[in-house]
Structure 1
Amino acid sequence: MKLQHVRSLIMFEIQGHKLLDRLGEFTLLRVLDMEDCKGLANEHVKYICQMYLLKFLSLRGTYISLMPDEVGNLEHLLTLDLEETCLDGLPETVRKLDKLECLKFGKKGEWSVMWKAPRGVSNMKALREVTRILLGDVKIAEELGELEQLEAIIVYIDNNAQREDVRQQLALSLSRMYSLRSLNLGEMESDGMTMDYLIGLPPPHLLRFLRFAGGLSKLPEWVGSLTYLVQFTLSWARFKDSQLWDVLCELPSLELIIFQHEFYVGTELVVSTKHKFPALKNMMVQSNRQYPEVFEFEEGSMTQLENLTVNFDKWESKRIVGVKHLKNLKEVNLTGNRYNPALGRALKELEKESNSRSKPTRFTVTVTYD
């Protein structure tokens, strides 16, 4: 078969540079997967941008650092995966890809490098999934509301003088995304309660995944109406009381809660008897901050919890209280500094609690050291 007749190509490293140098001959290619191809260079991408019939293109894991303007000529493209590359951005011509359904962007080892969507992004009406948008323009925040097919978005607000206007417009746009299933929303720098603008937001009712990464004084009450929500993640918040649990505890589909970085500023965080959590099976407290010092479970709380992860880091005052009340517990994973005495104490207490149970109800205790 002649190369120009090939319609699908997955590149393997074993094929080396000879095939890469002939990319210009694949004129009928519809699918090109170059994931982790170490030999791919910027000079090869210009040939890829001449494959006008491409519908799927993955350059994930490669070392390309420049995307040419000609990428906008790939008018049939449905998926463009640029995760884990060396790109700092994309040309504005990307907005010409009006059939594109999935755009993934990310730089190796630098989570803060995101795609600055250009004005005219509203032209990309077919978008269903877009990751790592950095938003600093009110007009672009408004245009995002026109992408009514969006099901998944990761969007962070940039540091600039218009941030308050951008926040308010983004809230309006999010309220128009009726198809949204996954929302990862944050701020590049959290300076106070910057995300409290979400409190009055009309919710995207079909959400299954929700992550907030920024200053929140309380959880928006509308989160408690997300009957399809399966996973909730929180980081860089400023909670002080049980309002967090009050909102989440009755969600019928919630299976996983993840806490990252700073999320609570009180000394004790108590899961009370009224916080049943009918579907919650997994909770991960990955925060490396001091607070809360005490994580307590009261009798009758989190009745379905099976897996619990708690990070002690280096904080010697950390404690887990009331594990005996978690009747369905199957595994507890502790993480932190090997020489932290609080971690050692928790390990002994958990092993003692597990051994006191009848064999069918015992749980496993594991430790992961930093």
Structure 2
Amino acid sequence: MVKQAKFILERCRGIPLAIAAIGGLLANRPKVSSEWTTLQEHIRPELESAALDVKRIISLTYDGLPYNVKFFFLYMSIFPKNHEIRRTRLLRRWMAEVYIEKPHGMTLEQVAKSHYNKLINRRMIETSNKVGNSMTSEYCRVHDRILKIILPKSVEDIQLFIMDKHYNEAPQSNVRHLVLARQKRNEEKLTRIKLACLRSLTVFGECPVSLVTRELRLLRVLDLEDTIGLTNEDLKDIGQLPHLRYLGLRGTDISELPSCLQNLRFLETLDVKDTKVTHLPAGIVYLENLSYLRVGVNFATEKMGEEKNASKRNLLGTLADFVCGCHGSNNSESGCSSQFSVRAPEKIQKLSKLQVLGVVHIARSQEAKKLRKLTNLRKLGVHLDAVDKTRRELCSSLSSLVQLEQLEVHCDSLEFLKGMTEPPSRRLVSLRLCGHLGNLPRWMSRLTNLSKIKLLRTGLKQEDIEVIGSLPNVILLGLWKESFGEECLSFGKGKFRMLKLLDIEGLKKVKTICIENDALPVLEKLRVRKCLELYNSEQGLFSVKSLKNLNELELTNCGDKLELEMQLRRQIIGFSNRPVLITRKYVVTWTERMLNSFYRLI
């Protein structure tokens, strides 16, 4: 097959998109010479054309998709050019559209993931690491040229209509999937569209007023994530959409959900993460099909403290929290404030189908006890108050959640976790901890499936780093803001065999980061931020030259470290991957200046 492969590569003339498209075709054909020869003859006219017909090659790749995957590929046209699409957002939208046929023995999510992987393997969509703290390809996107090619197909085959500032004419047929992009808050253009047939409605940019009406009675997906100008009043009629399965409000300015939400008996996904919502309506417990409930604030947002959160939660609130901290607030020690969570519903145990829940605020032991009834939970995020009985009940509940794969716990002190004799679940692949821990629980070494660890204010010691380094499948480690309490952070020989991303930020005591030979052998990204005490010499970040797979090295906001920066440049010269070195002097953010000024006033 070498001959056929050389022919195809030569004819692609080095155009990456053409190579990727044809590679996607070849990857799903039997690896025998006759199959490759047949494909070569089939696409020979396109390959031998003076102007390589990439459009035709992509169309052939699309035609080769399994029938049931084509819809999901065309569905990607809903998202704008260059848009980074969160994988979970995409999968749950697919599931809500009720186009997935569920084979025996598989869940809808497993089927959706299978379709997603097929599109990735065929290079029809590409993975993206938009979020720096993710090395598991949690974001994806469609190449601009591919998007341009499939858009006409989407308009015809799935009745997609995109209304933006350049589009003034009304659609010629019934619309099933409507996208409003960069609109001003008015209804003028919407009156020309028949909303009664809509199955999905997605808004990018400003949200039109009175968007939710009884006319949308067949709507299954309402995605308003990150829209501008959405108010509580805009959602007052949400209960009139009886077929709604997906409601995405993440990143908006809403602060309260209407009580009529309880009418959405088919709702599967409710996403109000990174909003101002602090409590959920009592009637939410009647949503018997609810499987994904995302609330609270992103863990990485808490890592950054108030400096980026000020834009979503007003600065006065931030300053008030700061003042409380100065006067001995209960949360001041750890900084794991309950402002990052939402109070759990009173009868949360009724939501028996929940698979994803978090971050919820658990204030009483009875609330913690009810969690053990949610035996389908795979992802759980909780914030606890400082009550011993509540903590004991949480540990007891965690022991009952045998399907748990991701766990996030916030508390001023996490030492109660050491009282557990067994890990919460041996299936855990992701663990996020915020609060003082001192040393890792003994059961930590038994989490052999763990791949992502993010720690905040845990105050660990070097011996704990050694324990984490011995876990066989860790690919991501985030050591953030006081998560490590010693001056020397060392990564020993033979440790962290699978680690690809190491993210270090806000370690106030650390003076030297030492990477021994044969440690971190597959590390791709190393980020060091806000570590002001690092030595301004080679000892500050020692032996980076051993990281031969490195493609990105960042040293930022660590003060004036010109000598260390020069040493790092010398160490990575000659690396085959030609890693990017990102450096800049420490820059005080606007919010930090405001807080410092306020501190001087009081």
Q: Quickly name the TM-score band, shorter chain normalised.
A: 0.7 to 0.9
1:175 match: secondary structure: helix
Unaligned runs of 5+ in 2: 1-173, 175-193, 298-308, 314-336, 588-602
**Distance across 2 between alignment mates of 1:271 and 1:10:** 46
Tell me the CA shift for residue 12 of structure 1.
5.2
> 2-side partners of 1:360 and 1:289: how far apart?
31
The aligned residue for residue 353 of structure 2 is 126
Distance in 2, matches of 1:8 and 1:301, equals: 49
Query: Aligned residue pairs: how many?
Result: 354
- Structure scoring higher RCO (CA < 8 A, sep ≥ 6) equals 1
Is structure 2 residue 475 aligned with structure 1 residue 283?
A: no
- Report the alpha carbon displacement of residue 210 of structure 1 after superposing the two structures with TM: 0.9
Matches within 5 A, 1:98-117: 98-106=288-296, 109-110=312-313, 112-117=339-344
Equivalent residue of 1:84, what SS?
coil
Secondary structure of 1:118's counterpart equals coil
Q: Which has the larger radius of gyration?
A: 2
Aligned residue for 1:119, secondary structure, equals coil
- SS of alignment partner, residue 274 of structure 2: strand
**Partner of residue 591, structure 2:** none
CA separation in 2, counterparts of 1:240 and 1:37? 43
Relative to 1, partners in 2 of residues 1:364 and 1:45: Cα closer, same or farther, differing over 3 Å?
closer
| Match of residue 176, structure 1, among 368, 380, 400 | 400
Listed as ranges, the matches of 1:37-186 within 5 Å are 37-106=227-296, 109-110=312-313, 112-159=339-386, 163-186=387-410
CA distance in 1, matches of 2:497, 2:195: 57
Structure 1 unpaired stretches of 5+: none
What is the CA RMSD across the aligned residues, in angstroms? 2.5
2:453 aligned partner: 232
- Residue type of the partner of 1:296? C
Residue 206 of structure 2 corresponds to residue 7 of structure 1: no
TM-score, structure 1 normalization: 0.86
* Residue number in structure 2 paired with 1:307: 525
For residues 181-232 of structure 1, what are the alpha-carbon distances to aligned partners after superposition, in whole Å with 9 as ceiling and x for unaligned?
Answer: 1111111x34xx6444465343311111111111112112322222222211
Question: Which residue identity does 1:166 align to in structure 2?
Answer: T
Once the two structures are TM-superposed, the CA of residue 46 in structure 1 deviates from its matched residue by: 2.0
CA–CA distance in structure 1, aligned partners of residues 231 and 530 of structure 2: 43
User: Does the C-alpha gap of structure 1 residues 185 and 201 become closer, same or farther in structure 2, counting only changes over 3 Å?
Assistant: farther
Aligned to 2:482: 262
Residues 92, 281 of structure 1: alpha-carbon distance in 2 compared, 3 angstrom cutoff: same
CA contact (8 A) 1:171 1:197 kept: no
| Structure 2 counterpart SS, 1:170 | helix
CA deviation map 1:338-364 (0-9, x unaligned): xx23x2222111112223xx4537644
1:8-51 Cα shifts (integer Å, max 9, x gaps): 3224557833x62x612222322222223434332331211222
Runs of 4+ in 1 over 4 A off after TM superposition: 12-15
Decide which structure has greater helix share: 2
Deviations 1:282-317 (A, max 9, x none): 21111x232222111222222222321112443364
1:202 is the counterpart of 2:423: yes
User: 1 or 2, which has the higher strand percentage?
Assistant: 1
Once the two structures are aligned, what percentage of the paired residues are identical? 29
TM-superposed deviation, 1:368: 4.5
Q: 2 CA distance for matches of 1:183 and 1:232? A: 10
TM-score by length of 2: 0.55
Distance 1:367 1:118, change over 3 A: same
Partner residue in 2 for 1:336: 557
1:367 to 569, 577, 583: 583
